[in-house]
């Protein structure tokens, strides 16, 4: 079942099937702790470093490098609006390590450890 949905995702995605990716990570939100990931201590910096160069409401035309219109992660609202997709394209968890984003090319890429944190943060509702 899972293999089948990965195949469907590959066919649908323009960027194709580069690696062991494209599915919901099934990350779980850990119990509250002092190291809880938040927008302020994690999400904002992650998006600024790796995503908003293309995915931002303030970026238009060619500068978006074809990032879809409305797919903007320069605000928490924009991130929440695409939460499951961000998980399936860029986060890592028990089920998948998704490396479709950032796209192939000379773009800064998060480590798998950072992708795992992204999965956790999203699983907690991107607070
Ligand atoms: C160099 C520009 C660029 C960067 C940087 C980039 N993306 Fe993308 N993104 C794209 C393009 C182009 C597409 C459309 C690709 C396709 O349809 O195959 C896309 C599509 C997506 C989609 C699917 C559409 C949607 O909004 O649901 C998601 C989710 C996404 N990107 C998340 C991210 C995340 C998270 C990061 C940072 C880790 C990121 N992207 C970094 C260019 C970029």
Shortest-distance Cα residue to atom 32 of ligand 1: 86
Cβ of 78 below 6 Å from ligand 1: no
Give the residue-averaged pLDDT of 109-121. Answer: 98
Between CA 123 and CA 93 the distance in angstroms is 10
Candidate from 13, 25, 67 with most ligand 1 atoms within 8 A of CB, to mutate: 67
State pLDDT tens for residues 67-97.
999 999 999 999 999 999 999 999 999 999 9
Instruction: Using the Cα atoms of residue 53, residue 23, residue 75 and residue 50 in order, give the sign of their dihedral.
Output: negative
Q: Residue 22 — pLDDT band, cuts 50, 70, 90?
A: confident
Q: How far is the CA of 40 from the centre of ligand 1 (A)?
A: 22
Between CA 111 and CA 68 the distance in angstroms is 24
Give the residue with greater pLDDT, 35 vs 63.
63
Is residue 30 within 8 A of residue 121, CB to CB? The reply is no
Cβ of 90 below 6 Å from ligand 1: yes
State pLDDT tens for residues 94-109.
999 999 999 999 999 9
């Amino acid at each position: 079942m899972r293999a089948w949905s990965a195949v469907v995702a590959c066919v649908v995605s323009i960027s194709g099937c580069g690696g062991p990716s494209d599915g919901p990570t099934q990350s779980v939100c850990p119990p509250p702790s002092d190291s809880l990931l938040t927008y302020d201590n994690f999400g904002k910096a992650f998006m600024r470093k790796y995503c908003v160069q293309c995915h931002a409401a303030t970026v238009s035309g060619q500068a978006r490098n074809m990032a879809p219109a409305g797919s903007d992660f320069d605000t928490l609202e924009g991130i929440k609006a695409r939460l499951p997709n961000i998980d399936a394209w860029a986060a890592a968890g028990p089920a998948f390590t998704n490396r479709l984003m950032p796209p192939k090319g000379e773009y800064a890429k998060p480590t798998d450890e950072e992708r795992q944190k992204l999965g956790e943060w999203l699983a907690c509702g991107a607070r």
